[in-house]
Structures are given as structure tokens and as C-alpha cells.
Amino acid sequence: MIIAMIESFFFLLAAVMITYLIRHYIFTFAVLKNAQKPKNSTTIRNITHQPSVSILIPAHNEEKVIGRLLQRLTELTYPKDKMQVIVIDDASTDKTGRIVEEYSKTYSYIEVIHRNKEEGGRGKASALNAGLEHAKSEIILCFDADYYPQRDIIEKLASVFSDPSVGAVQGRVTVLNEPQNIVTRLVALERIGGYRIDQQARYSLELIPQFGGTVGGFRRSLLKSLGGWDESILAEDTDLTFRAYLSGYKVCYVNDAECYEEAVENWRDYWKQRYRWAKGHMQCFFKHWFSVVRSNKLRVREKIDGLLLLNIYFMPVWVLLSWVIGIPLFLIKYSQGFGMQWTLMPIALYSFVGNFAPFFEVGAGAYLDGRTRANRLIPLLIFTFLYNILICTKAFIDLLISKITGKNTNHWERTNHTGNGDCYLIK
């Protein structure tokens, strides 16, 4: 009886993995098919629509990169009389505040909010809420301090708001310091799969594209009605995505609105960043899954995609469980002709992926970008997936402990930025 129950659970895990595998195939084929259309336009935009824009930049000890971003913002082609740049100096102890002050004195549209230790240091969501209080424009855009945008990125992002059903927009993130080492190269592959295929497919198939917390933004009226960013959630971007959809709005993904990030450079920083993403995403699952199921604002396919998106960081945990269950089942039933291929099915189905994007998804994205040489590193993504199993399992256990004990164990771990991406910029 117990063995039968374990087998049933194992089959359930396998079924979930097959569902994700099919989903990834659909996403990849949808984007490849779209790319073959003549004069393909990923997003219909009204280029004459130029609303006023407030750009929020949360910054905690970002002296090595904040100057690069601010200089770039002064070079943007968007009308400066319609631009407000707000840097939230979030209790920095380095030269971040002084660097921003210098730009603020020179450029009237750049402002700085200084937060002391009592006010600041509580995470990105808290800093963004402080900036929102000073924002005056119709559209609120967000950029992390280590980013470097295209000169016309604001035109591309802001123009989609001519459609009243669009509540939020997301541009594409690419890696600036990709050639630096093996970690940055693998992160670049993850980004290719995640944005060029995953985000583009969700938008093209009218599912749920995700606001990624940077290189994107919201209508100010929507943000205000939602009460801003939820400071109790580590993945405040995913949380806002679902609150927007549950309010009847949609997120528009703009693939050609590119912004370049300084990716993490070592495995320790990778762990800290992905742990925050994983735990925050799991928090969003528990907060929103029931509302998604019950919502009368979402179509059936949006509900299915939403649930799969909310569950994505649990997948490495389920894979680990399938191994823990599958191997003993194989050993117990092997003498009865229990085939190895059946027992190892979850491993074959899901362990060949990187950070939740299968090889063919990353490969297709690299092909569409003309990055065929990058595909040589795709087999190494298995190691990032194994690493993510540890990260996500730790996040899941910590979240369960916090729910059982009732203690808030959230601690915002900022990503370290070294400014090494400067050498890859074309001056």
C-alpha cells in the first residue's frame, strides 16, 4: 500500500515535469514561427505617444556603477522636459550619495533622495516606495544601478502605454560583462532563454509576461491603486506582475528595448541573488495562487500559465524529490522487471536544463540572436541547474520554517557590483 502511494506521487511529479517540458517546446516553437514572418514586429507601438516618465533608481553602496548609469541617462533621446530621474540613495556608506549629488546639480531632471540608516537598508521595495512618493509623471520606470540602457529605450518602453489595457511594460535584459568568466557566460545564456524565448513567447501567446523589476515599469495610477511595492515580498516584481493582472491590466514585453546588466561574477554572489529570487517567488505562489484560480479577470490559459509561472522555482525541489523517491523504487522493483528508463524518467525529462530553461530554448534564443558560438557552453548549464537545486531547496525549507514559526526571516541581500562591465562599453 505504501509503495503504491509512493509510486502515485512519483507519477505525479513526472506528470508535472512533462507539463513543463511541453510548455518549453510550445514557447520555443511559437517564437521561432514568429521570427519567420516577414517584417516581424514583436510589439505594436504608437511611437508618437510620449508620456511624462519618472525613472526610479534604488541604490545602496553603488559607487562603482551609479555614475555610469546616470551619465547614460543624460544621453537618452527622450525629451528631457518629460523625464524625471529619482535616485534613492538607500543608506549608502560609500560615495554613492556624493556622485548622485554632482549629477543633480548639473542636470535639473535628476533628483536624489537620501535615506539614513533608520529609514533605509530594508530592501529594494522599500527604496522604490520612497521614490514613488516623489514621482510626478504618468509612467514610472525602474532601472537597477548596474544597468546601461539603449539611448532610445524610453521611447520603446513608454509608447506601449497608448493602449489603455497595458498596465506595465518590460524590456529585455542582456549581460554586459558576459566575456568576463564562466559564471557571467552562463548567466548570459540563462538571460537569452529567459527573455528572447520565454518572455517573448508569453507575450506573443497572450499569456502572462513577467515584470522583471528593472528595465520596465507601470502606470503611476495603477501603482498607487495597488499601494506600491509589497515590502514583505522578496520578489516584489513577480508580486506586482500578478497584482496587475488580477486588477485587469496586462504586462507588455518589448524585446527590442534592450538594457545591459552587470551580471554576478562568482558562484557566491550567484547563490545570494538566486536564493532571493527563489524565496521571493515562492512567497508569491502562496500569496497569489488561489486568487489566480478564482479570478474573473484572467482567461483559462492565463490562469494555467500563471500557476506554472508561480511554481517555477519549486521545480528544482520536485526534481530532487523525484530522485529521492525514484532511486529506491528502482532498487525495490528491479527484480520484478521494473525498467530503469521508467524510474529515471524525471531525470531524463528535467535534469538536462539550466536555470529553468531547457537546452533547446536557450539554443533557439542564441540562434535568433546570431549567437551560435555561445551554444557551445549550453551543456554546462546542467551544473547551474544542480546548483539551483540546492539554492531552491534551501529557500523552500527556510520559507516553511518561517511560516511554521511565524517569524519573518526575510533579509535583503544586495547583489555586489564591481564596475568591471565598463571595459565592454564602446566609448
Tens-digit pLDDT profile for residues 25-37: 899 999 999 887 7
- Any domain includes 319: no
Strand, coil or helix: what is 370? coil
The pLDDT value recorded for residue 415 is: 81
Can you read off the three cell numbers belonging to residue 214?
528593472
β strands within 197-333, DSSP E? 216-219, 250-261
How many domains are contained in the chain?
1
Instruction: Name every residue whose Cβ is closer than 8 Å to that of residue 174 and which is 6 or more positions away in sequence.
Output: 188, 191, 192, 195, 258, 259, 260, 261
Mean pLDDT of 80-103: 95
- Any domain includes 25: no
pLDDT band with cut points at 50, 70 and 90 for residue 337: very low
Q: Give the range of the structural domain holding residue 167, as residue numbers without chain letter.
A: 53-267
| Mean residue pLDDT across the chain | 88
- Any domain includes 310: no
Please report, for the domain that includes residue 224, its CATH number. Answer: 3.90.550.10
Question: Is 379:358 a contact under the CB 8 Å cutoff?
Answer: no
DSSP code at position 48: T
pLDDT band with cut points at 50, 70 and 90 for residue 347: low
The pLDDT value recorded for residue 334 is: 52
pLDDT band with cut points at 50, 70 and 90 for residue 420: confident
Model confidence at 422: pLDDT above 80: no
Model confidence at 338: pLDDT above 60: no
The pLDDT value recorded for residue 356 is: 54
pLDDT band with cut points at 50, 70 and 90 for residue 408: confident
- Any domain includes 207: yes
Q: Please report how many Cα atoms fall inside a 13 Å half-sphere around the Cα of residue 425, on the Cβ side.
A: 19
Cα distance between residue 147 and residue 185, in whole Å: 17
- Any domain includes 238: yes
The pLDDT value recorded for residue 427 is: 57
pLDDT band with cut points at 50, 70 and 90 for residue 41: very low
Model confidence at 2: pLDDT above 90: no
- Any domain includes 215: yes
pLDDT, tens digit, for every residue of 171-218? 999 999 999 999 999 999 999 999 999 999 999 999 999 999 999 999
Kindly state the percentage of the chain with pLDDT values over 70.
90
- Any domain includes 365: no
Mean pLDDT of 96-123: 92
Other beta carbons within 10 angstroms of residue 317's beta carbon come to 19
- Any domain includes 130: yes
